[in-house]
């Protein structure tokens, strides 16, 4: 159809004129009508990562959170690290039917008040100022509302009747502005390498006018915004940053007070709209004899059906009904209603799909070997790609060259970092500020979608490898690793089990920290924000040359051994006794697992374990008690257990039991896995003493059945909960091994079901694993700008947005809390998968 203004007008009249009910303030303190939710500061900006694209005024439009960030902002297209407002007050007035909030920028002593009021099918957003805009913010402060690009690109928009399309690709006009101190102030950090130009890139609006109609060609995404007192400007935030959104913005006027700006925002609601059922299933498939229960997520306005069916696809392509069963109601869980379809009676291997009313799933397998390869992609691809200080190759592709050849500089005292790191008042080392610390550029793993070494995460990673080897001794060899040449080649066996090589690589980094610094670093990370959010080859973050302050910017010394580029990585070295204690645990386990493979490294690890345990215990004894001691007490329990297993010295066994039982009394779910790991090394009396705690853990498992329809521990924080659920599955596997009369192996299938697709929002596998019919296709990895993934990745999963919305974008990778795989999470999945497969055998 050829779009013209007249045809567009005819199309819009019935949509914008009649249909859905008015928006109303509900008892969860947001505005709602069927198909549209408008949240007003239900989720606030964080003070750590600033703008996470998860806050402000948000629109959940026909089931998808398509708009967020509604607030007074100080940039046309704010980036993650730009300043965000504090929200000192939020007021819900059920009498006046309004939600208002105070927004404050302390740096400028600037406050505004935003009031949101229903107006027919939409809401009025009004900005009030008690005092005129500060002079230094004139032209820079404005009200923004940001829209998810993946839901709008290639769709039509109009500005004052002028037709256009949202661009799929990042193309637009920009200008440069002086990189003034003012701009530096409200940018928070200088985020872009300007190569000495002294200027800052700023996108220009795609369109300007008083009325914008977004996606008239898609009723599910149609939004109309009008303003009578200010121009609306449409920007493409992706010009400055790949994670930017489309931004509708109006500048705040100078010299005015009172109601200085108002918009009418009208998200179209399709009359009678109901969300399609989300039919959960394991995309990897099912064993013939395992429980098979699909949890079906229903719109609250949908009437549940009485039954569902399973269809089998024959080798000739014919489809036959294999099973019909009743639907069991579970009830409401936050926004939606849940029912269950149990098809455990179907045991014949084959290819199947579920049909519920007019809706059917993609196909999946029932077979004896569906879980055989669930960890292969993680072990063969994801983990080796994240090996730091190595050149990593895969076939024709280089994932990254050797990063950080120049090593790491000592972070200066009293330095705050943009990833919630900080150096204390001293270095706690023998090195001066910005002095090169020799020997740290060895081993270790990138933390996640970024390229730093988080020591805490790497400690857990090494222990995961050590336990995977100790319990299961996987002989899989698909990765070539040469520490001397600093070279890794995927899909190329070299005669050594991969898990041992990964264990060695991680231990090399951590032991180097302990030996060189005398204790464990907080992190080895970027000193420059522009390097921190780098996308691409890790080796190109820095120039491989130490910084030389005697050289000009970007100048290279005549001998080629230093440069004038301030791109060097920093080591944040403030000492933490609890982190050292955690390292003592890891080193004890690593020493044991490395024996016979790398005896020299094994001895070094054991030496550091004993030293750090003694020093950390003394340091903690001299520190006052605080609330975190209870959780870190578990590390003390584990440390003594690992040292006892490694050395056989009774003093460690006695200390372990002294600490264990009070820790279990304080929190069974936190500490039971460590207690289970001790069983093979303790006597029968220990196991019997542990039995009541396992019974208590069984009560916790049973309680999850009434907590949520999936029967797993679902996290509701700012990082989704796959890691907690994976740990839950590992605990069940070990508990069943030692107490099969108490803990049924059937519980572990709730974890695989969740990971592989039986969860809220959609039914994609959260693991990019072999065998999954419908895995997630985009993740927050270091290749996220390509809208791709790294095989074997495990997503954090279903991110909870207050007060009642779960989401996991599969068309927008840039929200790390739901899409970023981490080295800690992926190696925890490796040990879970190994324990699960062992349990199945």
Active site residues: 811, 820
Lookup result for tokens 């390229």: 451
As a whole number of Å, the CA-based R_g of the chain is 28
- Strand pairing of 391-394 and 487-490? parallel
Contacts of 411 (CB under 8 A, 6+ apart): 417, 423, 427, 433, 527, 570, 571, 572, 573
Q: What is the Cα–Cα distance from 275 to 322, expressed in whole angstroms? A: 27
Q: How far is CA 712 from the centre of its chain?
A: 19
Q: What span, in angstroms and rounded, lies between the C-alpha atoms of 54 and 801?
A: 8
Strand 211-214 with 207-209, pairing: unpaired
Helix (H, G, I), strand (E, B) or coil at 821: coil
Residue with tokens 């943009």: 418
768: left (phi over 0), alpha (psi -120 to 50) or beta: beta
Q: Write out the two tokens for 9.
A: 């007008």
Residues 6+ apart with CB under 8 A from 565: 542, 543, 545, 547, 553, 554
Question: Distance between CA 610 and CA 622 in Å, rounded?
Answer: 19
Whether 306 and 327 have beta carbons less than 8 Å apart is answered as yes
Tokens in use for 455?
Answer: 């020591």
Q: Which two tokens stand for residue 294?
A: 């699909």
Q: H or E element: which one contains 584?
A: helix 577-594
Q: Which two tokens stand for residue 38?
A: 């408008």
Collapsed DSSP state (helix, strand, coil) of residue 123: strand
Q: Which of 589, 592, 585, 591 has the alpha carbon at shortest distance from 638?
A: 585
* 221 neighbors 65 (Cβ within 8 angstroms): no
| DSSP designation for 775 | B
CB 113 within 8 A of CB 103: yes
Residue 154: CB atoms within 10 A of its CB come to 11
Beta bridge pairs of residue 489: 393, 480
State how far the Cα of 790 lies from the Cα of 382, in Å rounded to an integer.
6
Question: What is the full DSSP assignment across 490-543?
Answer: ET---SS-HHHHHHHHHHHHHHHHHHHHSS--SEEEESSHHHHT--S-GGGSS-
- How many CB atoms neighbour CB 596 within 10 A? 8
Q: Output the 3-class SS for 275-318.
A: CCCEECCCCCCECCCCCCEEEEEECCCCCCCCEEEEEEECCCCC
694: region left, alpha or beta (phi > 0 left; psi from -120 to 50 alpha): alpha
What residues form DSSP beta bridges with 350? 366
**How far is the C-alpha of 757 from the C-alpha of 397, rounded, in Å?**
30
Q: Could you give the CA distance from residue 512 to residue 739 in angstroms, rounded to a whole number?
A: 40
């Amino acid at each position: 159809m050829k779009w013209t203004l007249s045809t567009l007008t005819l199309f819009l009249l019935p949509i914008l004129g009649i249909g859905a009910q008015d928006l109303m303030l509900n008892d969860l303190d947001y505005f709602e009508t069927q198909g549209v939710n408008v949240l007003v500061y239900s989720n606030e900006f964080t003070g750590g990562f600033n703008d996470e694209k998860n806050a402000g005024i948000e629109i959940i439009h026909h089931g998808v959170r398509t708009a967020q960030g509604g607030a007074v902002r100080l940039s046309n297209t704010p980036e993650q690290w730009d300043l965000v407002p504090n929200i000192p007050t939020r007021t819900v007035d059920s009498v006046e039917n309004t939600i208002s909030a105070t927004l404050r920028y302390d740096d400028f002593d600037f406050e505004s008040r935003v009031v949101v009021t229903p107006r027919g099918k939409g809401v009025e957003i009004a900005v009030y100022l008690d005092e005129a805009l500060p002079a230094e913010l004139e032209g820079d402060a404005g009200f923004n509302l940001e829209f998810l690009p993946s839901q709008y690109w290639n769709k039509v928009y109009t500005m004052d009747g002028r037709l256009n399309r949202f661009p799929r690709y990042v193309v637009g006009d920009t200008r440069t502005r002086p990189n003034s101190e003012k701009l530096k102030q409200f940018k928070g950090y200088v985020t872009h390498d300007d190569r000495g130009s002294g200027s800052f890139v700023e996108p220009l609006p795609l369109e300007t006018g008083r009325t914008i109609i977004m996606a008239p060609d898609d009723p599910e995404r149609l939004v109309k915004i009008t303003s009578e007192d200010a121009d609306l400007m449409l920007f493409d935030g992706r010009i400055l940053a790949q994670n930017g959104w489309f931004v509708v913005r109006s500048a705040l006027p100078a010299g005015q007070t009172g109601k200085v700006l108002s918009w009418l925002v009208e998200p179209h609601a399709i009359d009678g709209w109901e969300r399609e059922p989300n039919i959960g299933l394991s995309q990897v498939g099912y064993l013939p004899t395992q429980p098979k229960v699909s949890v079906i997520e229903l719109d609250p306005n949908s009437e549940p059906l009485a039954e569902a069916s399973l269809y089998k696809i024959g080798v000739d392509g014919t489809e036959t009904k294999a099973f019909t069963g009743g639907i069991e109601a579970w009830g409401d869980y936050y926004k939606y209603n849940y029912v269950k379809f149990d098809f455990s009676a179907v045991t014949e291997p084959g290819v199947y799909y579920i049909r519920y009313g007019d809706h059917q799933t993609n196909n999946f397998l029932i077979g004896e070997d569906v879980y055989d390869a669930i960890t292969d992609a993680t072990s063969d691809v994801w983990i080796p790609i994240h090996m730091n200080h190595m050149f990593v190759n895969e076939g024709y592709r280089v994932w990254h060259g050797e990063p950080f050849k120049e090593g790491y500089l000592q972070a200066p005292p009293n330095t705050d970092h943009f990833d919630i790191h900080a150096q204390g008042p001293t270095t706690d080392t023998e090195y001066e500020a910005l002095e090169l610390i020799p020997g740290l550029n060895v081993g270790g793993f990138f933390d996640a979608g970024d390229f730093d070494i988080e020591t805490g995460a790497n400690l857990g990673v090494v222990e995961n490898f050590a336990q995977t080897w100790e319990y299961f001794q996987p002989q899989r060899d698909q990765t070539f690793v040469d520490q001397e040449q600093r070279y890794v080649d995927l899909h190329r066996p070299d005669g050594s089990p991969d898990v041992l090589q990964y264990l060695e690589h991680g231990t090399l980094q951590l032991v180097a920290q302990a030996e060189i610094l005398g204790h464990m670093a907080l992190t080895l990370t970027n000193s420059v924000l522009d390097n921190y959010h780098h996308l691409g080859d890790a080796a190109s973050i820095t120039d491989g040359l130490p910084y030389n302050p005697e050289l000009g910017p970007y100048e290279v010394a005549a001998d080629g051994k230093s440069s004038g580029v301030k791109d060097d990585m920093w080591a944040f070295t403030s000492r933490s006794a609890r982190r050292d204690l955690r390292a003592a645990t890891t080193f004890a386990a690593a020493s044991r697992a490395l024996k016979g493979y790398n005896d020299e490294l094994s001895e070094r690890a054991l030496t550091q374990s004993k030293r750090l345990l003694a020093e950390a215990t003394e340091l903690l004894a001299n520190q006052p008690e605080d609330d975190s001691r209870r959780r870190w007490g578990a590390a003390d329990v584990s440390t003594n257990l690992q040292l006892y297993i490694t050395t056989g010295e009774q003093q460690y066994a006695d200390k372990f039991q002294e600490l264990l039982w009070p820790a279990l009394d304080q929190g069974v779910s936190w500490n039971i896995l460590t207690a289970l790991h001790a069983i093979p090394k303790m006597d029968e009396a220990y196991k019997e003493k542990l039995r009541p705690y396992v019974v208590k853990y069984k009560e916790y498992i049973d309680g999850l059945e009434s907590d949520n329809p999936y029967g797993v521990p679902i996290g509701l924080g700012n990082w989704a909960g796959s890691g907690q659920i994976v740990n839950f599955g590992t605990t069940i596997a070990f508990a069943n091994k030692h107490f099969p009369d108490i803990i049924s192996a059937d519980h572990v299938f709730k974890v695989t079901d969740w990971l592989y697709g039986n969860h809220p929002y959609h039914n994609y596998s959260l693991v990019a694993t072999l065998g999954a019919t419908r895995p997630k296709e985009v993740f927050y990895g270091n290749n996220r700008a390509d809208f791709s993934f790294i095989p074997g990745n495990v997503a954090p999963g279903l991110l909870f947005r207050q007060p009642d919305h779960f989401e996991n974008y599969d068309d927008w990778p840039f929200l790390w809390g739901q899409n970023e795989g981490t080295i800690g999470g992926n190696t925890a999945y490796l040990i879970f998968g190994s324990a699960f497969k062992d349990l199945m055998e």
